[in-house]
Structure 1
Amino acid sequence: MNADVEAAVRSIETDLVALSHSIHAEPELAFEEFRSVAKVTELLKRSGFEVRQGVAGLPTAFDATFGSGDLVLGICAEYDALPEIGHACGHNIIAASAVGAGVALATVAERLGITVRVIGTPAEESGGGKITMLEQGIFDGVAAALMVHPGPVDITGATSLALADIAITFTGREAHASAAPEFGRNAADAATVAQVGIGLLRQHLSPGQQIHGIVSDGGTAPNIVPARAEMLYYLRAETAWALSELTTRAEACFAAGALATGCTHEIRTVSPTYTELTPDPWLVATYREEILDMGRTPVPLEWEGTRPLGSTDMGNVTNVLPGIHPIIGLDSGGAVTHQPGFAAACITESADRAVVDGAIALARTAVRAATDDTQRVRLLEGVDRR
């Protein structure tokens, strides 16, 4: 059946590459991916999928279904871009690969006794669309969720860090910075003190814990004591528990900035908390075998766990049901994700090959899950236990 799904992907290769390039050409930010969704769902509808749009109360989320088998296999599509640097994470490739894998599996769905669902998940970069979709039951009944993400190299068992996305607002009091500074309470100074505290905290972080952020608002004019300042911070850790510990310590630094300057502060959550990726071992091993058979060379297994790859809301999915989030390699000329050079690399011939190879590899992995009696039972029983 591998030949069948590969032939199905090859038959729409031109459409998949065109889809990838079209999404790349019109990058859209979190929860604003209307053009991208229209492009993705149009190809799925042409391939016979029944598409529900705006699911989970998210206008740019969708759920496309084909087949009626008892084993439901989900392929996750992402399509949001980054501010200013566009598809520097290659979500155009993710979306096109997901469509390719979904269409390929649809051609064998009846023979396999499966239901294929291509699940469109907005706002991975910021907003956590998959988390809302999990909470709203979109993944209920899905036995396994699969997707591929582009990167400079192939990594089969990719892992990620848990993530807290927060905004810290300091509130002080305006005053003339020269004529009456004693009447002011400088919110920008509060941010500075907090940043110093965070910088000193770094020496005492546990392995795997990370803190990074920016000052998004530091005042309006040099001669006005800033009454408002805002910082946007990401806190990361290897586990949700370690993230909770880090959050407590970081919050003390933010409070210190307010206390030292006579300001007040407020911390709000920007996106739901992302949990760490916990890829399913059997699916990872199977995907690895498939890409090796296809002539790809993933990094050694012993290297995979040494450097988690940022954070993703797919981690939340893999903590609820079996799933994988491997990296499909492309020639990026030395650029890494979230660099303009990587965005440029995501519409090259190598990137187009990653679209096709990723679709085939996902489809072949899904076929093996459906045809292995032991794994099929395991996946079905997992749905019953949830």
Structure 2
Amino acid sequence: MQSTDTAIDLDQVKSAVTSTLEQWKARLLDVSHSIHDNPELAFVEREAAETLAKAAEEAGFAVTRSAYGMETSFEAVRGTGDFTVVICAEYDALPEVGHACGHNIIATAALGAAVALGEVADELNLRVVLLGTPAEEHGGGKVLLLESGAWEQATISLMVHGAAGDQDISCTLAKTQAVDRFAVTYTGKVAHAAAAPDKAINAADAAVVAQVAIGLLRQQLSGTVRMNAFVEHGGEVTNIIAGHTVLGAEVRAFDLETLEDAKRRMLNCFAAGALATGCTWEAVGTEPRYEDLIQDPLLAQSWDANLEAMGRTVSHAAKGGGGSTDMGNISHAVPSIHPMIAVLGAKGVPHTAQFAADAGSEAGDQAALDGAQALAWTVIDAAGNPETRAELLQRQAEREPGATQVPAKF
């Protein structure tokens, strides 16, 4: 094993990583295309998880399937160093539009970075962990894995997400929103809509009142707060006044204090629906809360510099924001980054059929390969620079045992 006191030629190590990625190029793209062409929803990503696990085993990683009690998670480990990097692979898709968020790019970049770093793990005194993290779109897979201890040994954690555009946005400027998702149920009283409407308590009306109130509330909120609600169940037939309705709801903000205030005001809108109609109501969390994303400055600056060294254009003016990720929760527990990498020339925006097509295109392939290289180079900078390494290891040493096992909040 390489001593951490011995000077390491980081350029040489980066060159070795690049060579490994070139050797693995065809295999990596096979993985990306396989995941892209077989989209699977949250918590049932069996083919994607197995495809990645097998590839990791081919690269000499010890793989644990169904890691941390989650069926479609896996943990692949190579190296025994004291500096543990956890690289996150997402691979869930969206209903109807498949990989319209480009998770095949995320998974492939993570796999490539892990494979390449595994080849230099001894030289850098690394422990490389490729962690399969299901259910990012809905379900909070990382939040549940965090609670189960998946990051307890992590020094740093990172991943990369694809985006539309003609240039990359600086990682230091890329932000995401915290999001809280819940369901609201109204209970009223059914009655015949023509013969006895006066005997009913209309739960569908309660939903309408709440939605109107939310629409009016939006003008009083910060422009960065987002609210949405839709009727999951609104009645049965036209001649029965609905006695039961259910709305799915979410609220987003760039910090938790603003989120809490916005949710309180949104819940008042739902209370108004109950008050106006005479229904009873309850709100119940449906998914773990996603926290806002904290980009670690050391890692973010290194990421930007590495993209530019690779010949990509990085904008240090445009601000990336919007959307939410369960990587936010990880960033509150360990030093992390979640940068965006442009699928150059992509015309579709995320969560559209067009972006799903872009994610499977040659431009999507290149984003995955470039993302893998930039992730690996960023880890090399962190683990190979003595001062950076010492600071990150010190931060890890200062954590109390169990500090990363944050309970999921619903």
TM-score by length of 1: 0.97
CA distance in 2, matches of 1:218, 1:249: 23
Structure 1 position 294 matched with structure 2 position 306:
no
- Long gaps (5+) in structure 2: 1-12, 400-410
In the alignment, the residues of structure 2 paired with residue 181 and residue 145 of structure 1 have an alpha-carbon distance, to the nearest angstrom, of 59
Are the counterparts in 1 of residues 169 and 318 from structure 2 also a CA contact under 8 Å? no
SS of the residue 2:314 aligns to = coil
The match for 1:335 is: 348
Matched with 2:155 is 143
State whether residues 341 and 367 of structure 2, in contact with CA within 8 Å, keep that contact through their aligned partners in structure 1: yes
1:79: how far off?
Answer: 0.4
1:215 is aligned to 2:228: no
Q: Which residue of 1 aligns with 2:178?
A: 162
Check whether the contact 1:331–1:345 (CA below 8 A) recurs between aligned residues.
no
Distance 1:280 1:333 in 2: 28
Task: Using the aligned pairs only, state the percent identity.
Answer: 44
CA distance in 2, matches of 1:103, 1:55: 19
**2:62 maps to 1:50:** yes
> What is residue 65 of structure 1 aligned with on the other side?
77
1:106 aligns with 2:118: yes
Alignment deviations for residues 73-123 of structure 1 (CA, whole Å, 9 cap, x no partner): 111000011111111000011011100000000000000100000011111
Match of 1:204? Answer: 220
1:55 Cα offset (Å): 2.1
Alignment of 1:354-365 (within 5 A): 354-365=367-378
SS at match of 1:170: strand
- Whether contact under 8 Å (2:346, 2:363) holds in the other structure is no
Deviations 1:155-197 (A, max 9, x none): 2322101110111111112111111111111111111000011
What is the identity, as a one-letter code, of the residue corresponding to 2:294? T
Paired residues for 1:303-318 under 5 Å: 303-304=318-319, 307-318=320-331
Q: Output the amino acid matched with 2:378.
A: T
Report the counterpart of residue 229 of structure 1 in structure 2: 245
Contact 1:10 1:356 in 2 (8 A): no
Distance 2:101 2:285 in 1: 23
Residue identity opposite 2:21 in structure 1 = V
Could you say which residue in structure 1 is the equivalent of 2:392?
379
Distance 2:314 2:261 in 1: 34
What one-letter code is carried by the residue in structure 1 that aligns with 2:53?
T
Q: Secondary structure at the match of 1:277?
A: coil
Residue 28 (structure 1) aligned with residue 9 (structure 2): no
Moved more, 54-63 or 374-383: 54-63
The 10-residue stretch of structure 1 (200-209 or 72-81) with the greater mean CA deviation from structure 2: 200-209
How far apart, in 2, do the equivalents of 1:97 and 1:276 lie?
23
Q: Letter of the aligned partner of 2:232 in structure 1?
A: S
Q: Which residue of 2 aligns with 1:82?
A: 94
Q: Is the 8 A contact 1:161 1:311 kept in 2?
A: yes
Q: CA deviation at 1:334?
A: 2.1
Contact 1:332 1:342 in 2 (8 A): no
Partners of 1:65 and 1:117 within 8 A in 2: yes
Letter in 2 for 1:338: H
Instruction: Report the CA distance between 1:64 and its aligned residue.
Output: 0.8
Matched, 1:366 2:373: no
Instruction: Specify the SS of the correspondent of 1:173.
Output: coil
1:325 aligns with 2:341: no
Q: Which moved more, 1:133-142 or 1:331-340?
A: 331-340
Matched residue, 2:198: 182
Residue identity opposite 1:274 in structure 2: Y
Higher mean displacement: 44-53 or 100-109: 44-53
The separation in 1 between residues aligned to 2:50 and 2:74, in whole angstroms, is 10
* Separation (CA, whole Å) in 1 of partners of 2:186 and 2:48: 37
Question: Aligned partner of 1:315: which letter?
Answer: G
Question: What is the CA distance between 1:367 and its match in structure 2?
Answer: 0.6
TM-score, normalisation: structure 2 = 0.91
Q: Which residue in 1 is equivalent to 2:408?
A: none
- Counterpart-to-counterpart distance in 2, 1:252 and 1:274: 22
Give unpaired runs (5+ residues) of structure 1. Answer: none
Letter aligned with residue 384 of structure 1:
A
Cα contact 1:171–1:228 (8 A) shared by 2: yes
Q: SS state of the match for residue 338, structure 1?
A: coil
Q: Aligned AA for 2:92?
A: D
Shift of 1:332: 5.3
Answer whether contact 1:21 1:347 (CA < 8 A) is retained: yes
How far apart in 2 are the matches of 1:25 and 1:88?
Answer: 12
Task: Give the number of aligned pairs.
Answer: 383
RMSD: 1.1
**How far apart are the structure 2 equivalents of 1:214 and 1:366?**
42
Residues of 1 paired with 2:70 and 2:144: CA distance?
8
* SS of equivalent to 1:272: coil
Distance in 2, Cα, partners of 1:273 & 1:163: 6
Secondary structure at 2:231's aligned position in 1? strand
Q: Read off the aligned partner of 1:345 and give its amino acid letter.
A: D
Q: What is residue 275 of structure 1 aligned with on the other side? A: 291
1:318 deviates by 0.6
List structure 1 segments (4+ residues) > 3 angstroms apart after TM superposition: none
